[in-house]
Amino acid sequence: MERIILVRYGEIILKGLNRPIFEDVLVRNIKRALDGCGSFDIRKSQATIYIEPEQEYVDEIITRLKKVFGVVFIVVAYKIEKSMEAVRNGIVPCLGDQLRTARTFKVEAKRSDKKFHLKSPQICKETGGYVLDAFPHLKVDVHNPDVTVYVEIRDQNAFLHTGRIKAAGGLPTGTGGRGMLLLSGGIDSPVAGYLIGRRGVELEAVHFFSYPYTSERAKDKVLKLASITGQYMGGMKVHIVPFTDIQLAIRDKCPEEHLTLVMRRFMMQISERIARKRNCGALVTGESLGQVASQTLAALAVTNEATTLPVFRPLIGMDKDDIVAIARQIDTFETSILPYEDCCTVFTPKHPTTKPILEKIQKSQALLDVEPLIQAAVDGVETITL
């Protein structure tokens, strides 16, 4: 029996007249994600994308589809003829493996072809009878069954399956504009990138690198994080910014308690330059209110003032535990906790200000040749495409 894959999307359905645009982008992204999975037919109909693959690629396709934003659920269904006869004949070959080891089951029917001669309750009843004929050990349990048998009567065919697999959800990459993620080697920023990417934003990343204070291994770690996060968005470009000269200049000339915030303002300013060049309309950071001295409300205001681009901070109201849970789910956690130093940790003051006054920080920053430092950093960017 031939398995086909049905892709269900959620919110896109609410997009009214724009819906076809979102659907087309999703189909395009799926095609890209399935590159190398043999040849397949793909079409959309009735708020579902149908993929008819070569059978040996089904499992690989499912793995990849789970990481495509905009795909909410995946159903692997057996395609059969649109008749109760075909449903009866399909039970054992299609669903036998699951039903044999189950103790209880129920049947759900969906009939989007309203011309089909039976209504849903009758389809359920008859199918339930076929299941019990084939597997007399089973009992019906409509509340908490081990297996649910779904019978879907659609326009061309009927389908049999045992339920849906949850995928990444969100909106298709590219439907939400472009953003620049400030990606460190920590736990937070990959999660921030994932959450904003999930809203359809196509991301590039900028990483501030202070060689030799931070090592090549720290850079590799960041690239690894970018490639894991980028899997959901069809890849990610990373702009590596040489940051050592700026950090040394700050250390030499600014009051110690201002080091972190002056540094963070430089990060914003340089990220904005690169973002504008790369046509990105927002910055994205992993900041979370109150997590560290540079993330108090007053400190964030000082950092924010350094850029005129909108800054998205999707973790702002989240506890560390919640962030870690997402990091584990998206597979960045184990990489994030590798013990390589970050540029922020190398030059950390003993007593950073938690209630900074903007004018004072601006004055400290003005002790430096700000513009040439920014320009040199931007000129020294190395871009890596993952």
Interacting residues with ligand ATP (CB under 6 A): 182-184, 186-189, 206-208, 285-287, 291-292, 294, 342-344
- Cα(146)–Cα(138) distance, rounded to whole angstroms? 10
Tokens of 313: 């901070």
Tokens of 178: 């472009």
Q: Which is nearer to ligand ATP, 4 or 361 (CB)?
A: 361
The distance of closest approach from Cβ of residue 206 to ligand ATP in the complex, given in angstroms and rounded to an integer, is 6
Within the chain, strands assigned E span 3-8, 40-45, 48-53, 73-80, 104-111, 139-140, 147-153, 158-161, 164-166, 178-182, 202-209, 237-242, 283-284, 311-312, 382-385
Radius of gyration of the chain measured on its C-alpha atoms: 26
Q: Which is nearer to ligand ATP, 79 or 219 (CB)?
A: 219
The distance of closest approach from Cβ of residue 112 to ligand ATP in the complex, given in angstroms and rounded to an integer, is 45
Q: Which is nearer to Mg ion, 7 or 192 (CB)?
A: 192
Residue nearest to ligand ATP (CB): 186
From the list Mg ion, ligand ATP, none, which binds 183 (C-beta under 5 to 8 Å, kind-based)? ligand ATP
User: Quick one: which of 228, 231, 170, 236 has its CA closest to 202?
Assistant: 236
The distance of closest approach from Cβ of residue 177 to ligand ATP in the complex, given in angstroms and rounded to an integer, is 18
- Cα(349)–Cα(243) distance, rounded to whole angstroms? 17
Q: Which is nearer to ligand ATP, 53 or 186 (CB)?
A: 186
Among 51-59, 138-146, 225-233, 341-349, which window interacts with Mg ion (CB under 5 A)?
A: 341-349
Residue nearest to Mg ion (CB): 186
Q: Which is nearer to ligand ATP, 244 or 285 (CB)?
A: 285
Q: Which is nearer to ligand ATP, 135 or 340 (CB)?
A: 340
Q: In this structure, are residues 311 and 283 in contact, taking their beta carbons and an 8 Å threshold?
A: yes
Tell the residue number behind the tokens 């069809």, with chain if given. Answer: 234
The distance of closest approach from Cβ of residue 22 to ligand ATP in the complex, given in angstroms and rounded to an integer, is 28
Q: Tell me the three state secondary structure of residue 158.
A: strand
Kindly identify the residues of this chain, within the stretch 181-200, that bind Mg ion according to CB under 5 A.
Answer: 184, 186
- Cα(120)–Cα(108) distance, rounded to whole angstroms? 8
170 binds Mg ion (CB under 5 A): no
From the list ligand ATP, Mg ion, none, which binds 364 (C-beta under 5 to 8 Å, kind-based)? none
User: In the complex, which residues of this chain contact Mg ion (CB under 5 A)?
Assistant: 184, 186, 342
